[in-house]
Structure 1
């Protein structure tokens, strides 16, 4: 575990192994623990890094008026702390949106992009009525008496969550901060990164669950059309959180892609 500070906020990340750095960015409602299968499996060839983004896990609370560019700046501090040279940047769902914004501001720190079941912002990838429905649904969930984020939100998995990871999902859900989710909802509802996609000039892997209904394959196809020479790999039988639902296939795709772009 290591910590960097950006603007007074402590940002914690885990790192395992030695080699070219691969930095994993989790989705909303998760933290670094969601990447446990990747830290375990890929540390033989890479320095595998998983952060707790600001406002999640062991990291400090979000400052006031935090935006997508602020997440990108925080991530830059993490990547720069790893040593000289760019890193492979992999983001799942909301984390992929952060990865794209990081590329916008810090392309020199990006060796490759690995975009997993993600969005060019909700505004940039989903119909307006779907964006409104998602924002309203999560707000209702957080306003309920329990106020706990649902780690099995419909569509996150193609079937039932893998039994071995249910305790992990429950533990992450129990530590979700409503203010963080509220900020992310507002950011995602307002973000449209479609202008950025054609400018991506690093090797890009699109890694998608075949049965993802949160960010369906139609979104992946639009990414593939917009990003020059992007490679799409579809994981059979996987939903939105494909790294947990099909970790072997996920890890094999990441390993092969990163080794192909040293």
Structure 2
């Protein structure tokens, strides 16, 4: 584990391998551990980094006023601490929204974007009624006696969560900080990045689970139409957390894309 301090916050991250940097950004209610299959599989060719965003895992907590720009600036501290130049930035779900915000504010640190099962913010990708439903569902979840997160929430996986990762999912769910989850979900509900998508000028890979109902393929097509020359890969049989449900296919796509980008 490495740790960098940004604006008074300690930001932790895992780093393995040698080569061009690939930085993975986890979804809401997860932490760096969700990227374990990627760290294991890609370290032979890349410097693979998975952060615990502020408010998650081993990183410092966040103040109540923390926004997307603050997350992006903390991520810049991580990428700069690697000393390897611009990185391939890969984000899943909420992590993809953050990856886009990072590009908006720190494009000089982005070699490529890998956006997996994500959104241009809920406001930017989903119907208003669906956003209201999710906000209400989040309110009920956070008001529950345990105030926690269910890693088997319907829609996260196409079927049952992969048995091999059940202990990992349980451990991450137990570590969720309600105040962080509340911030993440509120930001998702308020964010609309549709203006940003046509301005993306780095190679972009869209990775989508075929059976993702949280961010359905219609959202992927919106991204593909809006981002110039974006490449879309649909992963058969995968739901929203495609990197855990179909890690081999996910890793193969990331590897091929990043290696191809090196030759551009």
The farther-off stretch of 204-213 and 184-193 is 184-193
Aligned length: 262
Q: How does 1:1-262 map to 2 (within 5 A)?
A: 1-262=1-262
Q: Secondary structure at the match of 2:207?
A: strand
Q: Secondary structure at the match of 1:57?
A: coil
Distance 2:141 2:187 in 1: 18
Distance 2:171 2:85 in 1: 35
Distance 2:45 2:193 in 1: 32
The farther-off stretch of 155-164 and 60-69 is 60-69
**Does the aligned pair in 1 maintain the 2:208–2:217 contact within 8 Å?**
yes
Structure 1: segments with no counterpart, 5+ residues:
none
The Cα shift of 1:59 comes to: 0.3
Distance 1:185 1:51 in 2: 19
Q: Secondary structure at the match of 1:213?
A: coil
Q: Secondary structure at the match of 2:106?
A: helix
Q: Secondary structure at the match of 1:29?
A: coil
The Cα shift of 1:4 comes to: 0.6
Distance 1:189 1:246 in 2: 28
Distance 2:56 2:260 in 1: 32
The Cα shift of 1:185 comes to: 1.4
**Does the aligned pair in 1 maintain the 2:21–2:84 contact within 8 Å?**
no
- Alignment RMSD: 0.6
Q: Secondary structure at the match of 1:249?
A: helix
The Cα shift of 1:233 comes to: 0.2
Q: Secondary structure at the match of 2:113?
A: strand
**Does the aligned pair in 1 maintain the 2:112–2:202 contact within 8 Å?**
yes
**Does the aligned pair in 1 maintain the 2:20–2:84 contact within 8 Å?**
no
Distance 2:97 2:146 in 1: 29
Q: Deviations over 1:189-221 (max 9, x none)?
A: 110000000000000000000000000000000
The farther-off stretch of 234-243 and 127-136 is 127-136
Structure 2: segments with no counterpart, 5+ residues:
none
- TM-score (normalizing by structure 2): 0.98
Q: Secondary structure at the match of 1:261?
A: helix
Q: Secondary structure at the match of 2:184?
A: helix
**Does the aligned pair in 1 maintain the 2:142–2:182 contact within 8 Å?**
no
The Cα shift of 1:141 comes to: 1.3
